[in-house]
Structure 1
């Protein structure tokens, strides 16, 4: 079992300090969390930014400021921005964000792109032209089928094949099942780079299973703030550190 690439998603779009006191929302908090998580073993950060009211935003200026601080403080840490709509932003808004920001790496949900296929076609073409790496967020097998149909027709360009499977987002109680991973990845084309995140207290169990199956992993408060026994993690870095230990143990067992 090779060492999985580990991304931290420390805050998400919907959570607040009421969900966890250590949820990073401000620029200094996000940068400090990135430092701590990188020191704990995270290779990358999945970045959300908030406006002055604490609401999720795709504001390029706020993104640019945060990206500059992270790049200066943590040049070895990869940064992926989100284009998540959260019921507020259109495909036009998502395209405008990417056009103005021109990030190195961005995530997008296929089902959100499907709201406006014409603009989605422009977005994929622009990302290909500008060299923005895209990771497609998939919530179920139907999302994967849609992505693959777009790859076949050329809407999604060659090389734009990275995916992130999300477990548990639409289950009762936000519960994720490690046994659900194998059926999901069965539909992937050979060689497709894939990553997994999982909601709920089984987050780490799902991520370890994903690593066993050859995937990369995304961990953090966006998906779960608790350990398997229900206790709150102290902060994102504590969750990352615990996951790194679990991945190491799983790797050792696989080699035994």
Structure 2
């Protein structure tokens, strides 16, 4: 039996603007309303980015609090809110960790190659992650290639990354013009994940371009979870522009259900993410 599928929506990201898509949600109220629509369409989690007054990527605490409040107001208290720590060349590991320590979110994502950028970063990063594990935070570790997978496993084996409430996200491709991921791009990640030091953790996938849905359904059939949305892809499989994030979520949920895969609600998603498989 395939486990219930957790669908996360990443509605905006750090790089796109309204000029890329007029329905890109940037203001807190826009994000809140889109979260509500995506929750109704089947998303159990929102991956949250916020922008400053000039619509630039920021980790500003007040901006985060305002956006989280909007999600709670519009989408209700159940949807999991996962905040990003993405650096985008603007933030050092110490700043990323300080933001999470002050915000104390239910869930956040962090790139292994950013948090453990240099050998000298290891002690502080390990202490930070241990504290988050004690606090019961859901931590998603972002892995960009098979090398990141191997490095993550090594950091776990050395006791630098705790496994309590941890998961990973495989990113198929890069934030570059014309990037188009393929389902076969998942194979090197899984080969690394299933070799060597086996980790009984939830894993999820995001992908770029019009074959996003094909990549995500492949992951779902193999026991993974998925992240869909405008952060990574604006296009339908037929090459037309998607109307909004909720339409992408609904289409993916329909594909999953058509294959007999249950779509998890927030309560089930929390249970799955909090328990190592």
Query: Is this a same-fold pair by TM over 0.5?
Result: yes
Distance 1:6 1:142, change over 3 A: same
Which of 86, 93, 96 is 1:94 aligned to? 96
Report the Cα distance in structure 2 between the residues aligned to 1:232 and 1:55, rounded to whole angstroms: 24
Q: How does 1:47-58 map to 2 (within 5 A)?
A: 47-58=48-59
Q: Deviations over 1:57-106 (max 9, x none)?
A: 10111112222232243212111000000010110110110111111110
Q: Does 1:37 align with 2:38?
A: yes
Report the Cα distance in structure 2 between the residues aligned to 1:244 and 1:65, rounded to whole angstroms: 29
Report the Cα distance in structure 1 between the residues aligned to 2:155 and 2:92, rounded to whole angstroms: 20
Report the Cα distance in structure 1 between the residues aligned to 2:5 and 2:38, rounded to whole angstroms: 15
Q: Does 1:181 align with 2:181?
A: no
Report the Cα distance in structure 1 between the residues aligned to 2:78 and 2:149, rounded to whole angstroms: 31
State the partner residue of 2:114. 112
Distance 1:202 1:51, change over 3 A: same
Moved over 6 A (4+): none
Distance apart, 1:42 and its partner CA: 0.7
Which of 192, 195, 205 is 2:204 aligned to? 195
Which of 127, 130, 138 is 1:122 aligned to? 127
Report the Cα distance in structure 1 between the residues aligned to 2:51 and 2:199, rounded to whole angstroms: 37
- When structure 1 is superposed on structure 2, of 130-139 and 188-197 the one drifting more is 188-197
Distance apart, 1:118 and its partner CA: 3.2
Report the Cα distance in structure 1 between the residues aligned to 2:205 and 2:181, rounded to whole angstroms: 11
Contact 1:175 1:199 in 2 (8 A): yes
Distance apart, 1:172 and its partner CA: 7.9
Q: Over the residues paired in the alignment, what is the CA RMSD in angstroms?
A: 1.6
State the partner residue of 1:148. 153
Question: Aligned pair count?
Answer: 252
Distance 1:172 1:62, change over 3 A: closer
Contact 1:3 1:251 in 2 (8 A): no
Contact 2:139 2:167 in 1 (8 A): yes
Contact 2:229 2:248 in 1 (8 A): yes
Q: TM-score, normalised by structure 2?
A: 0.86
Q: TM-score, normalised by structure 1?
A: 0.93
Give 5+ residue unaligned stretches, structure 2.
Answer: 262-277
Q: Does 1:229 align with 2:238?
A: yes
Distance apart, 1:249 and its partner CA: 1.9
Distance 1:216 1:109, change over 3 A: same
- When structure 1 is superposed on structure 2, of 134-143 and 58-67 the one drifting more is 58-67
Contact 1:139 1:166 in 2 (8 A): yes
